[in-house]
Structure formats: structure tokens, C-alpha cells
Amino acid sequence: MTNTLFVAWRSGGSANGRWGPVGRLDHSASGYRFVYTRGAKSMENFIAFPGMPDLDAVYESEELFPLFANRLLARSRPEYEAFLLWGAFDPENPPDPIAVLSVTEGRRATDSLEVFPGPRRSADGHYLNKFFLHGMRWMEHDAVERIDKLHRNERLHLKPEPANVYDAYAVAVFAAGANGQVKIGYVPRYLACDVSELISSREDNVVLTVERVNPNAPLQQRVLCNLQTYWPDGFRPCSGDEFQPVVGELSATAT
């Protein structure tokens, strides 16, 4: 079985920058494989990653490439166990690095790169995804208070924001409050387009619940959510041109 992560990069500044897919990382029994996607050639000012200078090459390695390995917390760090628990992993049985990256997104404060999993259809025909709630730092004080009171399996509500000036595909997340719904964050940008399509197809079947709340974690790992819905006929996530590999089956470049 092959697990796939897409690599997103932000062009421009933190306030007005545009995010887009620029690479694809695959993991199988034979090792790791990385290729750039067509987004790398269309994103303004994109520069190839260190150790992977050729946009037209296929890179393969038995070990996880340093670009991604450096985004995993070292086991020697005192917060390593808590880091795994925040993502609902078992510290006694450390998960595959790809599984950790798919939830934590490999985010670092020092650059403009994120990773996200390629959506997969379950055996019973469902779309499943686990992610940390985004955008909480922009929420009002009442939202922060509501987040602190969230509990496991609590049902959350989704609402597309087509008029959002930063992202026309933005999907806001709400929790029930004493005086109505309280906006507590957003679906990650890399899921927003697909989730908007799923909502427009069968809104009543899109179920978002709280998987875990981590009061002592950084904001980007504070609320872990589970998304589940039916996979509609003809639904093709991550199918845009920017997601397609620049190259096909070329001779691999070992790293």
C-alpha cells in the first residue's frame, strides 16, 4: 500500500500570500519517492527544495528525505510523548512518520511549507479525514472560551464562506453556544475546496466531530477533528492540474 502526502508552499507574504501544491511524497514498502507537481512551475517565485534541485527529476530514498524528517519532533525531546498524544497517537507504539506528518502538517514557524494527505476512499465508500482546526488565532475572545469547553465527540458545524476575501473556498467551523453558533476556526485550506464540494453535494451527510482537545498544546495543535461523509459518485479530490506530477516514470535520482 502506498501513502501519499502533497506538499504545499506559500508564495508572497504571510498576509497576502497564496498557497498551492508544489510536490508529492509517496511512501511504500520499497521506500520514499518525491516528485514536483505542476504547481511548482506555476507558483510565482518558487525555488526548488534543498537537495532536490531539479523540478523534472524523480527522487527516491530508503529513508525519509531530510526536508520532511526535520519536521518531526525528535524522540529525545521532553515533549515528544505529549506531541504524539496531541495527534491521538500511541507513544508506546510510535506511528509511521507519514502518519504523523499527515496530521501535524509538518508546519514550522520559520518557513512557508506544509504537507497534507491525499484523500482516500474507505472500503465502505466514505471520505475520512483527521485534521487540526485552523485559524484559531484570528478568533474572538468568546470563541477561545468556547474552544476550552469542547469535548470529545462533540458535533461541530461547517459553513462555506464564498465571500471570504482571502479564500473563496474557505469553510468556517462553528460550535453551539448559549446565544447561537460560535465560530471557532476553519477547515485547513488544503481541504477547503473538497469540503465545499462535499457540502454542496450532501450537506446533511458531512459530519465533523471533536476527536481530542489539547489545552496545553500550541494553537495549531489545540483541537483535533474528525471529518466523515459519503464519497459521491464522480468525486475526484486533488485532481487539478497543479496536483499532477511534472514527470512520469523517469529514472530516479537517489538521495
pTM for this entry: 0.81
Which residues on adjacent β-strands are paired with residue 156?
Answer: 208
C-alpha cell at 208: 465533523
- Residue whose entry in the numeric block shows the C-alpha cell 511549507: 113
Per-residue confidence in pLDDT tens, the chain, 255 aa: 568 899 998 876 555 557 789 999 999 988 999 999 999 999 888 999 999 999 999 999 999 999 999 888 778 888 888 888 888 888 888 788 888 888 887 777 666 888 888 788 888 888 888 898 988 877 777 788 899 899 999 999 999 999 988 888 899 999 998 788 999 999 988 888 889 888 987 767 899 999 999 988 888 889 999 999 988 888 888 888 889 999 864 444 444
For 252, list phi and psi in degrees, rounded to 5. -75, 150
Tell me which H or E stretch contains 210: strand 207-213
**Domains, the chain, ordered by start:** 3-118+239-254 (no CATH), 126-230 (3.30.70.2330)
